[in-house]
């Protein structure tokens, strides 16, 4: 019961941080956004922004690696390992929201042109792709709920779904990351702060998917190598490089 409650709490915190991220990046409805009123500019703001994004990227990537999980589960029960990962990711994402220092100078501004609604629609599509893609693998396992429920029912938490290509995954190998990239870059008004956010998160995505590919090849083997040969990493309809 405690594990279920803990996993559910972590999942709710994830949902809250995900919804806040949509408002944060899109300058919508939340108390503080990526282009909120300026409190500090210049290099101090740049360094703070880079530091908090870097902390999130390191945690999010390092804790996902199999070697770290093997060490970490010596201290954290395996059924709640994923939930703890989700919890820490959400907390560090919250730190990004709180500590973020806007850099307001505009790099481009097409809000008064016909491009604006198209870019906003593309941004919304990116977030939708992120969410739908999680359900095309195993949404509740991805965020730790399945493991906690299995443990409560005395089932093996190591049982995993077979490798299946579902919808978006037939076009790109990492549709979740593609959705994030689209959501981060598609904006009618790109400030310097938003550009910094998009550049740093894009760099993290490129590094992260390569690390994940290494893990998946080691875990799944030939089936994943065949998949890589047929399906591009992030750009739909582009011929894979292998």
pLDDT value at 169 more than 50: yes
Residue 91 pLDDT: 96
On whether the CB atoms of residues 27 and 175 are closer than 8 A, the answer is no
Q: What is the pTM of this model?
A: 0.90
Q: For 28-35, what is the mean pLDDT?
A: 93
**Separation CA 196–CA 190 (nearest Å):** 10
Q: Six-digit token pair at 113? A: 């042109």
105-125 residue pLDDT tens = 899 999 999 999 999 999 999
Q: For 67-79, what is the mean pLDDT?
A: 93
Residue 161 pLDDT: 59
**Separation CA 12–CA 32 (nearest Å):** 20
Residue 157 pLDDT: 44
Any idea where the domains of the chain sit in the sequence?
A: 2-230
**pLDDT band for position 58 (cuts 50, 70, 90):** very high
Q: For 91-100, what is the mean pLDDT?
A: 95
């Amino acid at each position: 019961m405690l594990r279920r409650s803990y996993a559910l709490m972590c999942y709710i915190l994830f949902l809250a941080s995900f919804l806040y991220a949509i408002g944060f990046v899109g300058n919508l409805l939340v108390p503080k956004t990526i282009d909120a009123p300026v409190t500090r500019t210049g290099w101090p703001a740049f360094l703070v922004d880079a530091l908090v994004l870097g902390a999130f990227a390191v945690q999010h990537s390092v804790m996902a690696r199999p070697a770290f999980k093997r060490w970490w589960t010596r201290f954290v029960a395996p059924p709640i390992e994923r939930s703890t990962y989700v919890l820490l990711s959400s907390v560090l994402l919250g730190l990004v929201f709180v500590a973020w220092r806007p850099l307001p100078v505009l790099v481009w501004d097409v809000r008064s042109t016909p491009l604006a609604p198209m870019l906003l629609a593309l941004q919304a599509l990116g977030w939708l792709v992120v969410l739908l893609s999680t359900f095309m693998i195993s949404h509740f396992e991805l965020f730790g709920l399945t493991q906690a429920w299995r443990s409560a029912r005395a089932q093996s938490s190591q049982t995993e779904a077979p490798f299946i290509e579902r919808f978006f995954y037939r076009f790109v190998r990492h549709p979740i990351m593609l959705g994030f990239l689209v959501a981060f870059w598609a904006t009618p008004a790109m400030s310097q702060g938003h550009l910094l956010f998009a550049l740093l998160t894009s760099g993290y995505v490129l590094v992260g998917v390569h690390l994940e590919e290494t893990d998946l090849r080691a875990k799944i083997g030939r089936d994943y190598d065949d998949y890589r040969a047929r399906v591009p990493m992030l750009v739909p309809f582009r011929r894979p490089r292998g």
